[in-house]
Homo-oligomer: A and B are copies of this chain.
Amino acid sequence: METQARGGYNGKILRVNLSSNVISEETIDELFCRKYLGGAGFIIYLLWKELRPGTNPLSHDNKLVLALGPLTGIPLPGSGRNCIGAKSPLTEGITKSEVGGFWGAELKRAGYDAVIVEGKADKPVYLWIHDGEVSIRDASILWGRNTKETQQSIRTELGDNRIQVAMIGPGGENLVRYACIMNGLYDAAGRGGLGAVMGSKNLKALAVRGRKAPTIVERTPVKELREWLLANMQLVQAFHEFGTGAAMRGFEATGNLPIRNFRDGLFPGVKMIDAQAIKDTIRVGMDACFGCPVRCKKKVQVSEPYPVDPAYGGPEYETLAALGSNCGIDDLKAIAKGNELCGAYSLDTISVGNVIAFAMECFENGLLSVKDTNSIEARFGNAEAMLKLIELIARREGIGDLLAEGTYRAAQKIGKGAAEFAMQVKGLEAGLHEPRSKPGLGLGFMVNPHGADHCCNLHDNLYVVEGQMKELRALGILEPVPVEDISPRKVALFKLIQLNRIVFDSLVLCQFLPYSLEQLADVTAAVTGWDTGVMEQLKVAERILTMARLFNIREGFTAADDMLPQRFFQPKTDGVLADKPLDPTKLEKAKSYYYAMMGWDTSTGIPTPEKLEELDIT
């Protein structure tokens, strides 16, 4: 394929088949890189092209794809991440999840831009990727171990403490449908059950080490953007000082905080569990991802009533709300312990918190009893119950085996109206933000290809106040769009930001960093040598999102799957949203207009043949 771009940028892909033990390398050309960027774009393209329809996500036919972007590993804050995707065991649609830490930057230095894992090993193995060399190694002695033990064991075995490890704990091994993949001990590729896919392949870990610096065509703009961020650290000051979760008290006041399975509106205990409380009590330090001055990652330590190991970092906002307010729990130490357990077992804290809240509401409503729950009194506010349930889920013991299936499947099995308590879209448990407080988030939950992802929150709540309008105006949004708005103006804004976020996920960069669309395009141009711009990047995102849609349609998804749990159309029991349910008619209209703006049929949500041709999707 002749490329039209001048940089000569391309990508090197490592493909490992665990059934045949064949290891191979492929090069993707520059035009392809430009059309899909990397990360989420590469993953969605690959899964669309290579997976057979109807593939069982936990079979050897599924593929696990770990991908970097053109900016990965460069000296720029936010560049250490990677994206991971597969067909989801939770949604049976496409899923992808971004993850921080150091693994992404290390893989780049090892000489690869993506790893595709196919097939299934006969027995537990791990991959060892270092400076262009790749081996499949026995992991029998690692199987069953938690992540901390796994990481240390691999480093010891290979004799290098700087090896970066992406891995699963028992949650992934036991095919918990929302098991995550851990990059080291702080950072999770959390959503959609990627850890179960890894477990189903008998793949315990991917260990990487490399020394090859990424190519950068023009270094000055990278340096300037880094310096811009350093000169504007006030933009990320809250993250720097508290990490995530500093705004939780405000969330409770505005109704954005999910409380007791998204049912309630008041939770005075929020002040016991937010990032301020953590700083004042159990925090012992802050840590950072690769090359990042923000240092938003908490480390917490607890000695009693149970030890919490600071090696596992500390709970992020989503975890605080998931295991805390959404379970009615205001015991910070218990939440910290739950966070540690999820990290050790490789479980997605968001799904875990939702699943436990679901179980608690079922229990309180008599749909589950102590006979079902291994005698656990699974009531809202019972911190001990929450911790016990995590253990059972990770091991798939008793009630844990049911709950390991996720809220959607568990509700089907319980029956008796339990589905009403399953706060999920397409099978993915909802991120810990409240669509009733911002309907644009509701739209995001509805139309996001892999369900009610917590990242959808970033599609709605940015840029709605005057202080954030400067960039938006240059994009044609001349006036602030109120948070409660769900008119076509909001849909247009939503689409713009959603596309922008796909750009972040494909480059692959941390979404917490306040880079503008223009800064993203300019730094991409500098690194790759492409004459790229904002509009090109947004069109790339449109291509990627449309391809994800095609994947799901091929798996049988329809517009009816772009729906919200009924609870969001009912008022909260108390608090500021007690009389403010979402309006289903307005949401359906917004969805239809979103389809129109994407070039999809306004009723079915199926991309039109013309749109596919325009986007060069074949």
Contact = CB atoms under 8 A, between A and B. Distances in A.
Interface of A: 4-5, 31, 34-35, 466, 469-471, 473-476, 478-480, 487-489, 491-492, 518, 521, 530-536, 538-540, 589, 592-593, 596-597, 599, 608, 610-611, 613-614, 616
8 contacts: A5-B478, A35-B478, A474-B532, A476-B539, A476-B540, A488-B611, A489-B616, A596-B611
Query: Which 6 pairs show the lowest CB-CB distances between chains A and B?
Result: A474-B533, A476-B539, A488-B614, A488-B610, A476-B536, A488-B613
Nearest to A496: B535
Contact of A593 (B35, B589, B610): B610
A81 B247 CA distance: 53
B539 A473 contact: no
B31 A478 contact: yes
Nearest to A597: B599
A478 B4 contact: yes
A536 B473 contact: yes
A610 B521 CA distance: 30
A596 B608 contact: yes
Contacts of A469: 4
A614 B492 contact: yes
Contacts of A538: 476
Given A4-B469, A469-B4, A596-B599, A533 B614 contact: no
Nearest to A533: B474
A487 B35 contact: no
B614 A489 contact: yes
Most buried by B among A475, A530, A597: A475
Most buried by B among A4, A487, A540: A4
A473 B613 contact: no
Contacts of A532: 473-474
Nearest to A538: B476
Given A474-B535, A597-B599, 10 more contacts: A5-B473, A470-B531, A471-B531, A474-B533, A475-B535, A476-B535, A476-B536, A476-B538, A476-B540, A535-B535
A476 to B, nearest CB: 3
A478 B614 contact: no
Contacts of A616: 489
A479 B470 CA distance: 32
Nearest to A525: B474
A474 B537 CA distance: 8
A5 B477 CA distance: 12
B614 A491 contact: yes
Most buried by B among A470, A487, A518, A614: A614
Nearest to A590: B610
Nearest to A491: B614
B596 A34 contact: no
Nearest to A475: B535
A545 to B, nearest CB: 14
Contacts of A539: 475-476
Contacts of A489: 613-614, 616
A530 B596 CA distance: 30
Nearest to A536: B476
A548 to B, nearest CB: 18
B534 A534 contact: yes
A475 B533 contact: yes
Contacts of A596: 599, 608, 610-611
A342 to B, nearest CB: 40
Contacts of A466: 4
A37 to B, nearest CB: 12
A292 to B, nearest CB: 28
A521 B535 CA distance: 14
Contact of A531 (B473, B597, B610): B473
Contacts of A599: 596-597
Nearest to A492: B614
A4 B611 contact: no
Contacts of A521: 474
A550 to B, nearest CB: 16
B614 A473 contact: no
A178 B611 CA distance: 39
Contacts of A593: 610, 614
Given A4-B469, A479-B4, A608-B596, A531 B614 contact: no
A521 to B, nearest CB: 8
Nearest to A480: B4
A396 to B, nearest CB: 47
A129 to B, nearest CB: 31
A598 B493 CA distance: 17
A97 B479 CA distance: 31
Contacts of A518: 533
Given A31-B478, A478-B35, A536-B473, A487 B613 contact: yes
B613 A530 contact: no
A597 B611 CA distance: 9
A447 to B, nearest CB: 15
A133 to B, nearest CB: 35
Contacts of A487: 613
A473 B487 CA distance: 32
Contacts of A4: 466, 469, 473, 478-480
